[in-house]
Structure 1
Amino acid sequence: MADLSLFTTEQIAALLAALPDPAFIFTRSGKYAALFGGTDARYYHDGSSLVGKRIGDVLNAEKAAWFLAQIAVALAKRGLHVVEYRLDRKDVKGLEGDGPDDTIWFEGRAQALDYQVDGEDAVLWVASNITTSKKLEALLRMQSETDALTGLANRRKLMQALNDSHGLHARYRTPASVLIFDIDNFKDINDRYGHLSGDKAIQVTADVCRRELRTTDFPARLGGDEFVILMPHTTWEQAMPIAERLRQRIADQLRELGTLGQGATISGGLDQMLPGDTSSEEVLKRADDALYRAKHGGRNRIVHHGA
């Protein structure tokens, strides 16, 4: 801890003014009592005009209420209170079309002061712009959950979605169906035309899924030429026409690849979550069994597990 007696009042003021991140003094009622620092021009504008205003004068009601709640928490716990929050144009009064286009993320570090300011309990609130790290975090998360070839969800993201859907089904009996399918004779495509052609067939199949499925449906590439479609709030009877339309559309698009897609079709297995399922893997296993039957039944068909 520095010995402040070594510094003059002017030097301490200069040190506070030089802080890269802005440090606010907020009173319990939400008054901007003081502002120090914020010199990093990459992230902050001059906020001196805020001093004397109240949070409710600057932010909309919902965001202002959130700040007041965080100030109350910091005052109650006395120790350091750390939060992450976002601000965009709609949160700030009067910005309208003049504010930043992107959401800005901050880490707030609030510490209760041992003395009152303007007759009120108060906190020191240091706001650090963490937008860059948040964007990097979101990018890494997307890359870890996205299949590089197709842009669909990968196996990891699929299993998370299936588990979430199973939780809803177990708790509220919310229906959900699962379709698993692959491209018929895909090995022949790879053997005759090469793996790049096989990749093209997989990409075309993924494009049809994006175009033909409902916005609530969840398509994913399980691996190789195998795909899974999770259809929330859908019984297998409701899912069957969707699966059949998908089968027909994929065959149509694969035929447009010319010789490569000549006669290319898909086979699929369909089932829904059942009350006795203890995990999402059970419905996936039943759908996979139905896919096996579709293959041995002549291909180019969708088979329901119970059929």
Structure 2
Amino acid sequence: MFSGTQLAAVLNALPDPAFILTRSGRYMAIFGGIDARYYHDGSHLIGKTIHQVLEAAKASWFQQEIEKALLSQALHIVEYGLAACDVKGLQSDGPAYSLWFEGRIQALDFPVNGEDAVLWVASNITARKELENRLRMLSEIDALSGLLNRRKLMHVLAEHFDTFQRYGTPLAMLIFDIDHFKRVNDEHGHLAGDVVIRTAADVCRSELRSTDAPARLGGDEFVVLMPHTTRDQAAPIAERLRQRIACTLQALGSIGEGATISGGLCEFRPSDGSCEDVLKRGDDALYQAKRAGRNRILCTE
């Protein structure tokens, strides 16, 4: 059997810190946290409350998670970020970005200092979160343009279609491609074509609203989703984008000569059976714009 001294030594040898926190949010004890890559000595926290240590919003969140663990009496697992600005007195110290932690919270079956209490074990998972974010970017972002890829576009479009069916929330969609793009590739090579695609994507990022979702559908074809926007409201946005892309492509010199865009603008309709219906209408309008002479946006009726 371990002696009390040996047990304390075992607890203090834990690589991740373990906190004893009361229902009122007071730090009653701290064990472990010897992995100096991620943790500093936290002994100064003992006796303080989370509201004395953390900014109000973050402290309230911790308080809520303690309550949840006490209520369930089962292991409660959470993930959370902590930045220097979340800790009182550390606004100018520590990393400006958030470090990410997994909290494993278990209610204790005995009171501490007359209060219900939990054991909160915090593990630094920042590296894992960064890897998850990189993998998410690879699965959702088009490598050439930096816009949403087709897979993510269809997911977002389906979500908006569900919202439209439930609540009637409008969404306008612009689908466009680059006029004479084949000529750019044939005369100047595929690297020049890549420049044209990236340039059009850059204009989308700079000209569209923060709520809009531009995506590269494939090749030189792009889609812009404009949530909470009717087709009529979207028309001047689409026209401004057309003009701005044409102007920016012309500024590239010979590789952008004659490179404009043609597009189709449409919106969800009550008669739509799926989000593919709106894509088809937009695509049809795009090809009507091509047949009408290019360098224009046509709206579906």
Shorter-chain TM-score bucket reads: over 0.9
Letter of the structure 2 residue corresponding to residue 125 of structure 1: W
Residue 140 of structure 2 aligns to which amino acid in structure 1? E
The alignment's TM-score, normalised by the length of structure 1, stands at 0.92
Match of 1:285 in 2: 280
Q: How far apart, CA to CA, are the structure 1 residues paired with 2:206 and 2:292?
A: 28
Alpha-carbon distance, 1:119 to partner: 1.9
Aligned mates of 1:236, 1:164 — CA distance in 2: 19
**2:124 matched residue in structure 1:** 129
Q: Does 1:33 align with 2:28?
A: yes
Q: 1:102 aligned to 2:100? A: no
Mark the runs of 5 or more structure 2 residues left unpaired by the alignment: none
What is the 5 A alignment of 1:75-94? 75-94=70-89
Report if aligned partners of 2:85, 2:96 keep a CA contact under 8 Å in 1.
Answer: no
Give the whole-Å Cα distance in 1 for the aligned partners of 2:174 and 2:44. 58
Aligned identity (percent) is: 64
1:9 aligns with 2:8: no
Counterpart Cα distance in 2 of 1:10 and 1:157? 56
Give the Cα–Cα distance (whole angstroms) in 2 for the partners of residues 267 and 40 of structure 1: 58
Q: Residue in 2 aligned with 1:68?
A: 63
Deviations 1:55-108, CA, capped at 9 Å, x for gaps: 222123332232222222222322211111122233222323234311121111
User: Are 1:46 and 2:19 matched, yes or no?
Assistant: no
* Whole-angstrom CA distance in 2 between matches of 1:213 and 1:55: 42
Report the alpha carbon displacement of residue 40 of structure 1 after superposing the two structures with TM: 0.6
- 1:266, distance to aligned residue in structure 2 (A): 1.4
Paired residues for 1:1-307 under 5 Å: 5=1, 7-306=2-301
Deviation at 1:279, TM superposition (A): 2.5
Q: Shift of the alpha carbon at 1:260? A: 2.4
SS in 2 for 1:208: helix
Pick closer, same or farther for the CA change 1:67–1:256 going to 2, 3 Å: closer
Q: How many residues align?
A: 301
Secondary structure at 1:108's aligned position in 2? strand
Following the alignment from structure 1 to structure 2, what is the Cα–Cα distance between the partners of residues 115 and 215? Answer: 51
| Residue-by-residue CA offset, 1:195-253 (whole Å, 9 max, x unaligned) | 11211211121122222222222211100000011122222122222222222222222
Worse-matched range after superposition: 219-228 or 53-62 = 53-62
- Give the direction of change, closer, same or farther, for the CA distance of 1:60–1:291 in structure 2 (3 Å limit): same
CA distance in 1 between partners of 2:54 and 2:255 (Å) = 59
CA–CA distance in structure 1, aligned partners of residues 80 and 181 of structure 2: 48
Equivalent-residue separation in structure 1 for 2:209 and 2:57 (angstroms)? 33
SS at match of 1:270: strand
Question: 4+ residue stretches of structure 1 with deviation over 4 A?
Answer: none
Q: Matched residues in 2 for 1:284 and 1:50: separation?
A: 57
Deviations 1:10-43 (CA, angstroms, capped at 9, x unpaired): 2222111111100111122222111111101111
Counterpart CA distance in 2 for 1:212 and 1:112 is 52
Q: Which 10-residue stretch deviates more, 74-83 or 174-183?
A: 74-83
Change (3 A) 1:65 1:304: same
What value does the CA root-mean-square deviation take over the aligned residues? 1.7
For residues 61 and 249 of structure 1, the distance between their equivalents in structure 2, rounded to whole angstroms, comes to 45
Q: 2-side partners of 1:214 and 1:112: how far apart? A: 46
Which letter does structure 1 place at the counterpart of 2:175?
Answer: I
TM-score computed with the length of structure 2 as normaliser: 0.93
Q: Is the 8 A contact 2:204 2:214 kept in 1?
A: yes
- Tell me, in whole angstroms, the C-alpha distance in 2 between the residues paired with 1:62 and 1:253: 44
For 1:72 and 1:260, the matched residues in 2 are separated by 63
Say which SS state the counterpart of residue 136 (structure 1) adopts. Answer: helix
Aligned partner of 1:290: which letter?
A: A
Structure 1 window deviating more from structure 2 (73-82 vs 218-227): it is 73-82
Q: Distance in 1 between matches of 2:97 and 2:256?
A: 43
Q: Distance in 1 between matches of 2:67 and 2:228?
A: 41
CA distance in 1 between counterparts of 2:153 and 2:226 reads 12
Displacement, 1:113? 1.9
The whole-number CA distance in structure 2 between the counterparts of 1:126 and 1:214 is 42
